[in-house]
Structure 1
Amino acid sequence: MLYILVFLAGLFSGFINVIAGGGSLITLPVLNLLGLPIDVANGTNRIGIIFQNITATTKFRKNDVLDLKRAIFLAIPATLGALVGANIVVNIDKALLKSIVGFILIIMSIFLVKKPDLWTKERKVKRNNIISFVVFFLIGIYGGFIQAGVGFFLMSALVLLEGYDLVKTNAIKVFLVLIYTLFAFIVFAVNDQVNYIAGFVLALGSISGGYLGSTFSIKKGAKWIQRVLFIVLIIIGIYYIYNALTK
């Protein structure tokens, strides 16, 4: 019964992750419920993330919405950052970190409503490779040790620094998460923090969710992604703040 729950969690999180982000806030508690320690749940969760993003990246690539050349460039700093994040112990109060992230996400949701065209229309921006390298490296560190919510930060950087609309942003986002998660997963596997049975059950659901999410993204376009993103940002932002204040 619990494995059915893991599959369904993978299905829903795969859909949400591809469109917006925050799916790990669903899968991590479910893996905990299965009896996995939080460190093992964190490592096991990466299996589902890998497979959902393989599916989504393939779909985006077939529909010619993935800027692969730029995505490969941005994957380098994100992967380097993720390796750092997966290897270090972060000396920061977790409640404080969750509060900060929660407030940032809510501010982003307000910005999403106030400046809708910024997110739904592709723009020509003067890209600065050095700034992009640093920003995506820092986001990679966050993704390496926390993962949950990293999609929101990737999407913000891709829209504001790179000038992509939300459809192309989603395509590059899932590619970046796929690449750096592959390398981060090795760290968890080497440290024996992966339950492979639970991970592959999760992956089965994530593959289906990733396919549905990428299909929805391509067919519905940036406006629909913006609406889903706004709802998820508010929910996850409140969750982070509540979770921080009650611990």
Structure 2
Amino acid sequence: MALSIWEALAVLAAGIGAGTINTIVGSGTLITFPVLLATGLPPITANVSNALGLVPGSISGAIGYRAELRGQGRRALVLGLTALIGGLGGAILLLALPSEAFDTIVPVLIALALILVLLQPRLARAVRRRRDKNGTTSRPHGGPALLAGLLLASGYGGYFGAAQGVLYLSLMGLLLDEDLQRVNAVKNILGAVVNGVAACFFLFVAEFDWTAVLLIAVGSALGGQIGAKVGRRLPPTALRAVIVAVGVIAIVQLLLR
């Protein structure tokens, strides 16, 4: 479908906004997806085009966070493989299930994730005290609980993906002994993996709008750099506040859809 010049500019701007917010927190899909629908694209075409277009933004954001990724290569590999499996499963579900299957549970998941983000400092201290008492150390990859949580969150990410970054940040913030900025850096890797594997699957079974893909790709890549510059300067409390604000907006939008 041919886009008018104004529609093309709107999609490009949405891509920049999505790339920026995805790098800082996540939920960029809530910016791009409604814009694509407004141009007249069918929901499935809009969803798969959006997934592919956002991959460069996640990669760009990860590059912007490369300093925080130092020393996390093995962790990113293990968690990335988990995200890949979950993302592929979610992509398959997108074509097998009606959208109503996730409509009820997703706002609840995001709300729980926000509660974990708010309580994360207190919970993390409690977990460290328990480890000190038992003489144990934290697992570099978070253990089975984190892998299971990321598998489910990535399944949702491959299916639709709005606010999947909030889910990632809440899980890793609680189960990894790392500061929020280093966790955020890994989150960008996971986002790229999930969007990438879902997009590769969709290439064989779904129809893309390549103009929309290109516009979102260019915009999100630019936004990824903007998001990295802004996000890396935010202190933990401010970053946590941004996560909660974006999560609340995501819940409202999902409930009103």
Evaluate the alpha carbon distance shift between residue 79 and residue 146 of structure 1 in structure 2; reply closer, same or farther with a 3 A threshold: same
Matched, 1:150 2:164: yes
Contact (CA 8 Å) 2:69, 2:182: kept in 1 or not? no
Out of 64, 67, 79, which is 2:72 matched to? 67
1:66 is displaced (CA, Å) by 6.8
| TM-score, reference length from structure 2 | 0.83
| TM-score, reference length from structure 1 | 0.87
Contact (CA 8 Å) 1:21, 1:149: kept in 2 or not? yes
How many corresponding residue pairs?
A: 241
Task: Structure 2: give runs of 5+ residues left out of the alignment.
Answer: 1-5, 129-136
Out of 55, 58, 61, which is 2:60 matched to? 55
Map of 1:166 onto structure 2: 180
Rounded to whole Å, the distance in 1 between the matches of 2:55 and 2:120 is 32
SS of residue in 1 equivalent to 2:104: helix
SS of residue in 1 equivalent to 2:40: coil
1:204 is displaced (CA, Å) by 1.4
Amino acid at match of 2:240: Q
Out of 198, 202, 217, which is 2:212 matched to? 198
Which is greater in Rg? Answer: 2
Please list, as runs of the form range in 1=range in 2, the aligned pairs for 1:107-186 lying within 5 A after superposition.
107-114=112-119, 116=121, 125-126=138-139, 129-186=143-200
Q: Once the two structures are superposed, what CA deviation does each residue of 1:181-201 show, in whole Å capped at 9, x if it has no partner?
A: 222111111124211111111
Amino acid at match of 2:138: V
Q: Once the two structures are superposed, what CA deviation does each residue of 1:91-127 show, in whole Å capped at 9, x if it has no partner?
A: 5771x7333322333344345445555589xx77346
Contact (CA 8 Å) 1:14, 1:205: kept in 2 or not? yes
Rounded to whole Å, the distance in 1 between the matches of 2:253 and 2:124 is 24
Task: Structure 1: give runs of 5+ residues left out of the alignment.
Answer: none
Please list, as runs of the form range in 1=range in 2, the aligned pairs for 1:8-87 lying within 5 A after superposition.
8-62=13-67, 64=69, 67-87=72-92
Amino acid at match of 2:21: I
